[in-house]
């Protein structure tokens, strides 16, 4: 500022006096005054605070071993996945990585999905152990779009009648009754187990109007949606509980399935739960 005139000195004169190019001055004027801070929205929490919140999400989540993407979704904060991954790695919060065993090239990647509910279901079975009743069976049926369990059943004997029970439950739940042709247009994906290839099972499915869709022989991933659920059921429930008997298992598994349908989050559906996916679809159908 000139003491004589009270006006600022010309930029050209000031730059020449200090030996600074005018382009340098204008660059400083445009961005340098911010002290070199990065552009974009400010981070809502620092790393230390974010680690505390990550630990709380892990502690309060009804599921264990969730990856950093799901933890980030449960945080509900505007933070990058890379940052969450870094902090979880640095603080020993990452779940152990599941080993993938190579079995040669697959004929199918298992991602058979439907664009709307109740067009394609998958069904499968697995065994679990109880202290008093020995080995028992779990049968489940899942919707390939919503990825919720529409029906399930536990039994001591894993025969064709037990295999049909989760489908019966799903038909009653989704179609309101179990009458003839009530589920016409629905496809049912299954493997080649004797329960599903039996005459009784095929006849009952035909009664409901359900068309059977067997997975490829030797390619269980062709029924990948239910296979993925079975893996989750084992890791989150069957492997972490000691079941006294079949009735105790039925109670625990029933609670888990309610929790899965209402709280498990699905990456392909924008980290929504199965219940939210079905509810959002029905809302759009009514609108």
Ordered alpha helix ranges (H), 104-234: 160-175, 194-197, 199-208, 224-233
Q: For 259-278, how does the pLDDT look when each residue is reduced to its tens digit (9 = 90+)?
A: 999 999 999 899 999 999 99
Q: How confident is the model at residue 107 (pLDDT cuts 50, 70, 90)?
A: very low
In a domain, 262, yes or no: yes
Same domain membership, residue 189 and residue 81: no
In a domain, 3, yes or no: no
In a domain, 81, yes or no: yes
In a domain, 280, yes or no: yes
Rounded Cα gap, residues 223 and 112, in angstroms: 7
Q: Is 157 exposed, middle or buried (0-12, 13-18, 19+ CB in 10 A)?
A: exposed
Q: Give pTM, 2 decimals.
A: 0.76
In a domain, 105, yes or no: no
Last residue of a domain, one of 64, 98, 132: 98
Same domain membership, residue 158 and residue 17: no
Same domain membership, residue 82 and residue 161: no
Can you give the residue range of the structural domain that contains 83? Answer: 12-98
Last residue of a domain, one of 31, 64, 98: 98
Same domain membership, residue 175 and residue 84: no
Core vs surface per residue 266-286: b (16+ CB within 10 A) or e: beeeeebbbbbbbeeeeeeee
The SS3 call for residue 129 is strand
Same domain membership, residue 137 and residue 222: yes
The SS3 call for residue 53 is helix
In a domain, 107, yes or no: no
Ordered alpha helix ranges (H), 150-198: 160-175, 194-197
In a domain, 5, yes or no: no
Eight-state DSSP code of residue 237: I
Supply the CATH number for residue 146's domain: 3.30.420.10
What does the block give as tokens for 21?
């190019």
Q: For 139-182, how does the pLDDT look when each residue is reduced to its tens digit (9 = 90+)?
A: 999 999 999 999 999 999 999 999 999 999 999 999 999 899 99
In a domain, 113, yes or no: no
Q: What is the pLDDT of residue 103?
A: 47
Provide the number of structural domains found in the chain: 2
Same domain membership, residue 162 and residue 59: no
Same domain membership, residue 172 and residue 79: no
Mean pLDDT, rounded, for 242-257: 98
Question: Is the Cβ–Cβ distance between 49 and 83 less than 8 Å?
Answer: no
Eight-state DSSP code of residue 113: -
């Amino acid at each position: 500022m000139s003491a004589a005139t009270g006006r600022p000195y010309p930029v050209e004169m000031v730059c020449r006096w200090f030996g600074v190019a005018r382009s340098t001055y204008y660059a400083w004027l445009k961005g340098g005054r911010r002290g070199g801070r990065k552009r974009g929205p400010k981070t809502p929490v620092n790393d230390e605070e974010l680690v505390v919140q990550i630990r709380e999400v892990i502690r309060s989540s009804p599921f264990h071993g969730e990856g950093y993407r799901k933890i980030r979704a449960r945080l509900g904060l505007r933070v990058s996945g890379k940052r969450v991954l870094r902090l979880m790695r640095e603080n020993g919060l990452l779940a152990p990585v599941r080993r993938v065993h190579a079995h040669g090239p697959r004929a199918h990647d298992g991602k058979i999905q439907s664009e709307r509910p109740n067009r394609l279901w998958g069904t499968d079975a697995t065994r679990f152990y109880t202290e008093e009743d020995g080995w028992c069976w779990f049968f489940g049926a899942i919707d390939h779009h919503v990825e919720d369990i529409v029906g399930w059943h536990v039994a001591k004997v894993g025969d064709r009648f037990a295999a049909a029970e989760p489908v019966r439950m799903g038909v009653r739940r989704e179609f309101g009754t179990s009458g003839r042709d009530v589920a016409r247009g629905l496809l049912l994906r299954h493997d080649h187990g004797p329960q599903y290839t039996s005459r009784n099972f095929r006849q009952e499915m035909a009664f409901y109007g359900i068309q059977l869709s067997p997975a490829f022989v030797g390619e269980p991933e062709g029924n990948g949606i239910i296979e993925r659920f079975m893996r989750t059921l084992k890791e989150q429930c069957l492997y972490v509980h000691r079941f006294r008997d079949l009735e105790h298992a039925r109670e625990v598994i029933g609670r888990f399935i309610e929790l899965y349908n209402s709280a498990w989050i699905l990456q392909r559906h924008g980290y929504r739960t199965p219940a939210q996916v079905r509810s959002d679809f029905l809302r759009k159908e009514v609108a």
